[in-house]
A = this chain, B = another copy of it.
Amino acid sequence: MECMTARELAAAVAATYHAWMQTVEAARSTLAEHDLTAATFQALWLIDPGAPPPSMKVMAERLYCNASNLTFITNQLIERGLIERTVDPHDRRSRVLTLTVRGRQVREQVTQAAMAQSPLAMLTSAQQQQLTALLTSAFGRT
């Protein structure tokens, strides 16, 4: 019993690992074309152009990294002209990240390509929904 449960969990974790790694792997050439690394792309990806611009703190949580690391990645994206960092008027300690026009374009292009190349694109729409439902039922975030 215990043993069976553990085995199924192990398989699920392994499958999740491979799915994510293959998604990253498949995106590699596309990222390189746009002068993005995995780290900078993930940050770009996690800024939703249709939502209020996230603070550094929020972005660090989304990227599962610490504040100083995010400062580093943010600087890269700013140097490439893809995002801007502005002071949040509601809390002047906080910096808010907004996509530039070019940032929006690049983000759109690269995420589209990356998604299409992911192994998860092989699933039907219904399967994708099922997958999302399963995974989100396991944790808190979006």
Nearest Cβ on chain B to A15's Cβ, whole angstroms: 4
With an 8 Å Cβ cutoff, the count of chain A residues facing the other chain is 46
Instruction: Select the stretch in A67-75, A78-86, A96-104, A132-140 that faces chain B.
Output: A132-140
Nearest 6 interchain pairs by C-beta = A15-B135, A119-B139, A12-B128, A119-B138, A20-B20, A8-B128
Q: How long is the Cα–Cα vector from A127 to B15 in the complex, in angstroms?
A: 13
Q: Which of A27-86 contact B (CB under 8 A)?
A: 64
* B-side contacts of A123, CB under 8 Å: 12, 134, 137-138
Copies of this chain present: 2
**CB-contact partner of A6 in B13, B14, B18, B115, under 8 A:** B115
Q: Is the CB of A135 within 8 A of B9?
A: no
Is the Cβ of A129 less than 8 Å from the Cβ of B8?
yes
Residues of B within 8 A of A18 (CB): 135, 139, 141-142
Asked if A131 contacts B16 (CB within 8 A), the reply is yes
Contact residues of A between 89 and 118, Cβ < 8 Å to B = 111-112, 115, 118
Query: What separation, in Å, do the CA atoms of A25 and B111 have in the docked complex?
Result: 24
Which secondary structure dominates chain A's binding surface?
helix
Task: Tell me whether A115 and B13 are in contact (CB under 8 A).
Answer: yes
What is the minimal beta-carbon distance from A76 to any residue of chain B, in angstroms? 20
Q: Chain B residues near A12: list those with CB within 8 A.
A: 120, 123, 128-129, 131-132, 135
Nearest CB in chain B: distance from A33 CB, A? 19
